[in-house]
């Protein structure tokens, strides 16, 4: 057998040398059969040791592979955990954004609903509940009057009273309608609207002015007798009003 075909480790080589020495001496101590058995046993032990070392090496390699695989699994778990954490944070942001949008939508809906809800208003000393559209229509007609477009204002207030006959704005609307008609010299129609105000709401904030306006219309119509009676009634019914003071001055000059 050529030893170079089976390279040995230093330890195995030492054992071989020892085995060789043992074999040489065994010829002196034992017979050929005993020496041969001793050599075979020694070789079997050596083979067992080599097999054990080989198994240990294989076990170590398997352990290293297992550790590497475990480390890879740990890294993958960390990556998955980081991904899940990111997804959770994004979900929280999305949820927060959704809740904020829902609040904004609800707020917008509340504001839009409030636009259609009746509201409490106070006009010319009269407090009442008005529909938002009703309020808008009255204020629009009044804006036309204040712009000096009296024919258009007369039409706007007439339309308003037709659409809202029971409105809390009705007396104020008749007052401004009468003024628009006075400005366009529709004195009889103006008188009719001022009288409607006085008959419906004699304690209205514009009532003294309405009475004074009736007298002015009567003077324009050359009805001085009727104007005098209207002015006297104004001073008697609304003695503390500014209109009453103007009525006294008018009576002093009225013939």
**184-202 pLDDT per residue, tens:** 999 999 999 999 999 999 9
**Is this model's pTM higher than 0.85 or not?**
no
Closest CA to 218 of 184, 190, 193: 190
Residue written as token pair 């079997």: 44
- Ordered by start, the domain boundaries in the chain are 3-80, 119-253
pLDDT at 47: 82
Place of tokens 């001496």: 25
CATH class, 119-253 region? mainly alpha
pLDDT score, position 194: 98
Cα–Cα nearest to 42, from 71, 15, 21 = 15
Query: How high is the pLDDT of residue 139?
Result: 96
pLDDT at 198: 97
pLDDT score at 233:
97
Which segments in the chain show pLDDT lower than 50? Answer: 1, 6, 14, 22-23, 25-28, 110, 113
């Amino acid at each position: 057998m050529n030893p170079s075909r089976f390279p040995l480790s230093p330890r195995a080589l030492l054992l071989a040398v020892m085995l060789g020495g043992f074999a040489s001496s065994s010829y002196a101590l034992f017979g050929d059969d005993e020496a041969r058995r001793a050599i075979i046993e020694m070789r079997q032990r050596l083979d067992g040791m080599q097999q054990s070392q080989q198994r240990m090496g294989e076990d170590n390699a398997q352990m290293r592979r297992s550790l590497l695989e475990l480390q890879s699994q740990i890294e993958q778990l960390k990556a998955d955990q980081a991904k899940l954490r990111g997804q959770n944070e994004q979900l929280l942001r999305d949820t927060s954004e959704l809740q904020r949008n829902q609040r904004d939508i609800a707020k917008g809906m509340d504001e839009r609903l409030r636009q259609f809800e009746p509201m409490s208003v106070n006009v010319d000393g009269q407090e009442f509940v008005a529909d938002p559209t009703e309020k808008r229509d009255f204020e629009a007609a009044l804006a036309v009057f204040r712009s000096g477009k009296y024919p258009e204002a007369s039409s706007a207030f007439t339309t308003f009273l037709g659409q809202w006959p029971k409105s809390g704005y009705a007396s104020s609307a008749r007052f401004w309608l009468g003024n628009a008609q006075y400005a366009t010299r529709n004195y009889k129609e103006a008188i009719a609207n001022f009288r409607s105000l006085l008959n419906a709401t004699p304690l209205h904030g514009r009532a003294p002015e309405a009475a004074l306006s009736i007298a002015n219309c009567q003077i324009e119509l050359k009805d001085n007798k009727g104007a005098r009676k209207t002015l006297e009634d104004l001073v008697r019914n609304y003695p503390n009003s500014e209109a009453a003071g103007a009525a006294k001055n008018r009576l002093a000059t009225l013939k």
